[in-house]
């Protein structure tokens, strides 16, 4: 099981187990309506646990990045928690509403409502007085959250609209926190479940406020300025060189940063295609025209333009301890390998890392003689054996071709950056051929959506 799956299911199992301890008789309740009371509480606890974890991960905190394997994995977990919270929230809503529908259709008979217990203290009384408001506001916040999460998952929605609407999930979450505080069974709060849920709600509330104020990643932002731009028309790629301030902490080859050139558009992630040299504080970014944002960059960016750079992020840093490595940079996925080659070229000749054999495969649908010439020069300077495959000329790259070109592939660590589907197919191919891919196949999963 991957670290993402362990974190996702681990939180659900933890909350579910604590709920059973807090309310051990709930699952043994006789009849739909007694069972409904427990299920409403359970699904609410689990849904808000997922939403709270998703809110915290949205802040791009540094502490879980290494355990989870990088910010790309954190965003994947953020997405899982969002979808999990959505499914559980829908189940919560159905447990509230479906029995009422069944009564209306004559399928169930509503039991006689007993007298509501007397509140034991002023806090419970105060929460009880807010019950109606919490139910009404929570229902509308649920509808808003469902709409916003579904909108975020629909790929054809433009990124700009996704970014603007996704931010309002933080506001819906805050309303759901109020709903949860009021309607969670009061006795839960004095149990271990109450402690864990309270911590999650507090952390999620803080994250939601930070998000609404637009301060995500603010401590990792530094000012920058575009020094020069170069466009490769044959492959529709724009390369930009950005000078950054002394506040930039440096980065490792393979890491990426968020760059903001237009506040209305917001920050976009780009792998840094250069090694770090404090004596020459510049970063190189490469963007391919793949969507509405990247397709407009060439028209919107000019030399001398100020930008904001946030980072560095990521754990795609070539640390595997293997005696040799195989790199696969498909299309624009070549960028982290360019940075690593520049880093290798700057190493001392007797550096053990400089001596490690590396084969770099660069399959691409488009071809630019100028870009390939620069890539070839970088590979030669770094002591990397380069294999360029143009699809129309050389056919598709697959595991057999890699294994033929690298006879000692069983000793290698494989580092892949490129289309997700191609990466999954290549990983499965090497797994079938006996490579322990869980520890030896490294793939970026970065996806803001």
Residue 313: pLDDT band by 50, 70, 90 thresholds?
very high
pLDDT at 348: 84
pLDDT-derived band at 118, boundaries 50, 70, 90: low
pLDDT at 378 over 60: yes
CATH of domain 324-443: 3.40.50.80
Residue 4 token pair? 């993402």
Instruction: Tell me what pLDDT residue 447 has.
Output: 65
CA distance 198 to 437: 39
Look at residue 194 in the predicted model and tell me its pLDDT.
97
Q: Is a pLDDT exceeding 60 seen at residue 75?
A: yes
User: Could you say which DSSP state residue 224 is in?
Assistant: E
| Nearest one of 383, 388, 394 to 372, comparing CA atoms | 388
Please give the distance of CA 73 from its chain centroid, rounded to a whole number.
Answer: 5
* Tens digit of each residue's pLDDT (9 = 90 or more) over 14-58: 999 999 999 998 888 878 888 999 999 999 999 999 999 999 999
Q: Regarding the domain delimited by 218-313, which CATH topology (the fold level of the hierarchy) does it fall under?
A: Elongation Factor Tu (Ef-tu); domain 3 (2.40.30)
pLDDT 10s digits, 154-196: 877 777 788 788 889 999 999 999 999 999 999 999 999 999 9
Confidence at residue 364, expressed as pLDDT on a 0 to 100 scale = 94
pLDDT in the model for residue 159: 74
| For the chain, percent of residues with pLDDT exceeding 90 | 78
The pLDDT of residue 128 is 85
pLDDT at 448: 59
pLDDT value for 108: 85
The reported pLDDT for the residue numbered 258 is: 95
What one-character-per-residue DSSP string does 85-123 give? Answer: HHHHHHHHHHHHHHHHHHHHTTSS-PPPPPPPPPPSSHH
Predicted pLDDT of residue 346: 92
DSSP 302-355: -TT-EEEEEEEE---S-----SEEEEEE-GGGGHHHHHHHHHHHTS-TT-HHHH
Tally Cβ neighbours within 10 Å of residue 275: 22
Domain covering 3-111+120-212 in this structure, CATH number: 1.20.120
The answer to whether 286 touches 238, Cβ cutoff 8 Å, is yes
Backbone torsions φ then ψ of 325, nearest 5 degrees: -135, 150
pLDDT of 116 > 70? The answer is no
| Helix axes 131-153 and 169-183, enclosed angle (nearest 10) | 150
Q: Domain boundaries in the chain?
A: 3-111+120-212, 218-313, 324-443
Distance between CA atoms of residues 161 and 312, nearest Å: 26
Rounded Cα gap, residues 16 and 22, in angstroms: 10
Q: What is the pTM of this model?
A: 0.90
- Residue 401's pLDDT is what? 97
CB 348 within 8 A of CB 355: no
pLDDT band at 125 (very low <50, low <70, confident <90, very high): confident
3-state helix, strand, coil split of the chain in percent (to 5) is: 55, 15, 30
Q: What is the pLDDT of residues 392-422, one digit of tens each?
A: 999 999 999 999 999 999 999 999 999 999 9
- Report the chain's mean pLDDT, rounded to a whole number: 93
Q: What single string gives the DSSP state of each residue in 68-82?
A: HTSHHHHHHHHHHHH
Whether 1 has a pLDDT exceeding 60, the answer reads no
The answer, yes or no, to whether residue 425 has pLDDT greater than 90, is yes
Least confident of 160-164, 225-229, 346-350, 397-401: 160-164
Residue 112 has pLDDT above 80, yes or no: no
Inform me whether the pLDDT recorded for 355 exceeds 70: yes
């Amino acid at each position: 099981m991957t670290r993402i799956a362990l974190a996702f299911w681990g939180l659900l199992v933890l909350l579910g187990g604590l709920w059973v301890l807090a309310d051990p008789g709930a699952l043994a309740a006789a009849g739909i309506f007694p069972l409904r009371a427990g299920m409403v509480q359970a699904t609410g606890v689990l849904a808000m646990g997922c939403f709270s974890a998703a809110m915290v991960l949205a802040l791009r905190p540094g502490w879980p990045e290494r355990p989870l394997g990088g910010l790309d994995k954190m965003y994947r977990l953020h997405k899982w928690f969002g979808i999990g919270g959505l499914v559980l929230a829908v189940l919560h809503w159905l447990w509230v509403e479906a029995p009422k529908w069944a009564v209306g259709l004559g399928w169930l008979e509503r039991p006689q409502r007993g007298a509501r217990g007397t509140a034991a203290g002023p806090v419970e009384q105060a929460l009880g007085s807010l019950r109606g408001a919490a139910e009404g506001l929570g229902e509308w916040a649920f509808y808003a959250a469902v709409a916003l999460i579904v909108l975020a998952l629909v790929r054809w929605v433009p990124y700009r609209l996704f970014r603007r609407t996704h931010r309002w999930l933080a506001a819906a979450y805050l309303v759901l926190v109020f709903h949860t505080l009021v309607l969670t069974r009061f006795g839960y709060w004095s149990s271990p479940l109450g402690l864990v849920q309270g911590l999650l709600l507090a952390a999620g509330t803080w994250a939601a406020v930070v998000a609404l104020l637009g301060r995500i990643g603010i401590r990792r932002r530094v000012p920058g300025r575009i020094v020069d731009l170069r466009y490769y028309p044959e492959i529709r790629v724009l390369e930009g060189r950005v000078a950054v301030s002394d506040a930039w902490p440096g980065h490792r080859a393979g890491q990426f940063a968020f760059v903001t050139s237009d506040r209305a558009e917001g920050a976009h992630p780009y792998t840094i295609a250069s090694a770090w040299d404090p004596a020459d504080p510049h970063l190189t970014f490469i963007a391919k025209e793949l969507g509405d944002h990247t397709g407009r960059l060439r028209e919107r960016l000019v030399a001398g333009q100020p930008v904001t750079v946030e980072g560095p992020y990521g754990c795609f840093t070539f640390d595997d301890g293997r005696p040799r490595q195989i790199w696969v940079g498909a299309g624009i996925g070549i960028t982290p390998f360019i940075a690593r080659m520049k880093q290798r070229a700057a190493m001392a000749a007797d550096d053990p890392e400089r001596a490690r054999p590396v084969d770099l495969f660069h399959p691409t649908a488009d071809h630019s003689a100028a870009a390939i010439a620069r890539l070839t020069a970088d590979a030669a300077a770094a002591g990397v054996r380069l294999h360029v495959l143009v699809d129309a000329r050389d056919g598709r790259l697959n595991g057999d071709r890699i294994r033929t070109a690298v006879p000692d592939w069983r000793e290698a660590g494989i580092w892949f950056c490129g289309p997700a589907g191609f990466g999954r197919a290549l990983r499965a191919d090497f797994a079938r051929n006996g490579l322990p891919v869980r520890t030896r196949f490294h793939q970026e999963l970065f996806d803001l959506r």
